[in-house]
Amino acid sequence: MRRIRRALILGLVTGVVGLVAALVSSISELEDTFGLRWLFHVRGPVPPSDSVAVVSIDEGSAPRAVAFDIEFVRHSADPAEDARLAGSIAGAGRREVPRHVR
């Protein structure tokens, strides 16, 4: 019974300390800066999956650019849709930057 009480008290204290740390912005920023870096360092590199696409955008880049890195394996069932997409991309006024993934 004493071990259970000790474990519950330790868990409660740890939870309260974590909650207070999360509410203090400077500690939260420290965790974001160093804690996440440390976790990724400990985990090591992970090869990206071929079946996952990650799309990310932040507030600063939202008005600046929209980028597509899409691999079309087959044509659409409706060729007019392909033409519409190509026209929209061409009409955006951006230059194409080829990127060879494989």
* Secondary structure tally for the chain: helices H, strands E: 4, 0
The encoded tokens of residue 45 equal 């590199």
pLDDT digits (tens, 9 = 90+) for 46-64: 887 777 666 666 776 666 6
Where residue 6 falls among pLDDT bands split at 50, 70, 90?
A: very high
| Total tally of structural domains belonging to the chain | 1
Structural domain contains residue 42 = yes
Domain that residue 39 falls in: 2-91
Coil vs helix vs strand at 70: coil
pLDDT digits (tens, 9 = 90+) for 27-49: 778 777 888 888 888 999 888 77
Asked if residues 21 and 28 have their Cβ atoms less than 8 Å apart, the reply is yes
Asked if residues 65 and 94 have their Cβ atoms less than 8 Å apart, the reply is yes
Structural domain contains residue 98 = no
SS percent in the chain: helix, strand, coil, step 5: 55, 0, 45
